[in-house]
Chain A
């Protein structure tokens, strides 16, 4: 990329300086000569300077007048990340040298294999420039692997130190050695960041090395003949649950179908895969196909069919009334089928209050003022939050769903895709699907419409209508199936969803509105205690937004 010759030149020099820094640090460990120590320290200043210059160049180019392509911006960003991490390596070298002063004899350090650390770090640094300039994924991967190797080397030294610690005469020496190796290990971490920065410059997306490897493995397993370099990766979103989701395309061929790559914790991904299989048996066209699945110790990933269409939420936001009406019609048809088909005459606990209890600390961390004590206005007493939740837990133990249904489990309108051409609804994000209380899906659906921080009157009118319509539909189903406590359970579900949704909402007024709705319903439920739950009537309008 000759366009950035100034930047390339500086990063090239910086890499060379850091390599010399490593080389001299190793020499000092072999034979600590004071002039060499001075050299390492003054070189560190120079390296700091390089970092500052590169940062200036990067930011001035990005914010300059020229119209840079995304690829050029990605290169600049990668270069800046690399420069930051090179500077860290240089700092760690200085720390290592400083630590040597605490050893009564340098010989102590010679008991351990420090040479291999330097050897791996140095050969990794040798390929950084070429890897970055030629966008070479193999080099990037080799750089990333250095961290893995360094970690193994560190583990060996660590075990040796722990073993020797008991019998060591001078414990300060041995602990100092541990500190020194810890800095060498952290240099490995910096190398990993450098490798990942190169991967970023190639893909234009921040992929962790294990995510990249999982992607390659998945593509290999479906006998795809495309080269990984031709794969276009477009991040769809990084969900709150920590899964990485991206759209993968073959950028070398036009018209090829995209697939979805999903990577995350093994438990979650494998559960989703199993749930997709269950959904396939119930309603084959409702969920995406799984093309491949791979699992390592802690994480798993899969390639899924990319389902074309828009989410129900997008349909609401675009205020396309026709689309929304069609989508809602098909959604209700689909749900009618699923709810009837999977209904099992087995009572089930809704579990809303457990879900609330698990998230209460997160809510109060963001909104500490939501925690309230008991209050009184003359003779009228209002209970504390803790007391409200305790009573609601008791209520929930009296309130069981009369039957269970195979539910989505996270039925917010983002997870419902509508394909207008095929007149079809799809469900996505299925790791929470299970046989449970369908009221959970209903309450999550209603609150997901409410909690979108959009205050446009037109959009709000539409969501209010959508919610009313969906509520009527669900309530009709309840009546047809003799579900007498639907309203009371829905109130509990709404309490849970309104309350916990505030943990993602920093707009104080909007969050307060949701929180007050939760408490309003809680007061209604508490006041109703002692009467039959079938007589509880859902207060109208509670899931409709109003701006006062």
Chain B
């Protein structure tokens, strides 16, 4: 099983400062690379291919929640899968 890597940052912000974080993420998506790092962990992620994007809003008991979620397949794993597929295909063709 591959090693799980995590980055976590939680803070209080306001509209103005939230934009700084969203800008940084936007810039990362544009460049195709987002680096998340702290002393404990560094996570270099490459958004590519199809990305499932969910926006979830909720208002309940005087509290509002807005979830933004981006999910996509990790490139590294995709490569492994491709290589094994390719190997198999080559073998199949030799057999043929």
Contacts and interface: CB of A to CB of B under 8 A. Distances in A.
Contacts of B1: none
Contact of B21 (A380, A384, A547, A548): A380
With a 10 A CB-CB cut-off, give which of A378, A384, A517 has the most chain B CB atoms: A378
Contacts of A523: 11, 17
A378 B11 contact: no
Nearest to B14: A539
A373 B10 CA distance: 13
B3 to A, nearest CB: 20
A228 interface: no
Given A377-B21, A380-B24, A516 B12 contact: yes
With a 10 A CB-CB cut-off, give which of A376, A520, A523, A524 has the most chain B CB atoms: A376
B63 A375 contact: no
Interface string B60-93: 0011000000000000000000000000000000
A372 interface: yes
Interface residues of B, number: 23
B14 A378 contact: no
A374 interface: yes
B39 A378 contact: no
A360 interface: no
A288 to B, nearest CB: 40
B39 A548 contact: no
Interface in B1-30: 9-14, 17, 20-21, 23-25, 27-28
B51 interface: no
A206 B70 CA distance: 61
Interface string A528-547: 00000000000100000001
Contacts of A548: 63
Interface residues of A, number: 21
B48 interface: no
B12 A517 contact: yes
Contacts of B27: 378-379
Contacts of B11: 516, 519-520, 523
Contacts of A373: 38-40
Contacts of A374: 38-39
Contact of A375 (B9, B25, B34): B9
Interface in A404-425: none
B36 A376 contact: yes
Contacts of B21: 377, 380
Interface string A256-269: 00000000000000
A376 B35 contact: yes
Nearest to A541: B14
A378 B34 contact: yes
A4 B38 CA distance: 65
A97 B9 CA distance: 62
Given A523-B17, A548-B63, A377 B12 contact: no
Interface string B40-61: 1000000000000000000000
Given A377-B24, A548-B63, A519 B38 contact: no
Given A380-B20, A380-B24, A375 B14 contact: no
Nearest to B63: A548
Contacts of B20: 380
A520 B34 CA distance: 24
Contacts of A376: 35-38
Nearest 8 interchain pairs by C-beta:
A373-B39, A380-B24, A375-B38, A520-B12, A378-B28, A378-B24, A516-B12, A548-B63
20 contacts: A373-B38, A373-B39, A374-B38, A374-B39, A375-B36, A375-B38, A376-B35, A376-B36, A376-B38, A377-B25, A377-B28, A377-B34, A378-B27, A379-B24, A379-B28, A380-B24, A382-B9, A516-B12, A524-B17, A539-B14
Interface of B: 9-14, 17, 20-21, 23-25, 27-28, 34-40, 62-63
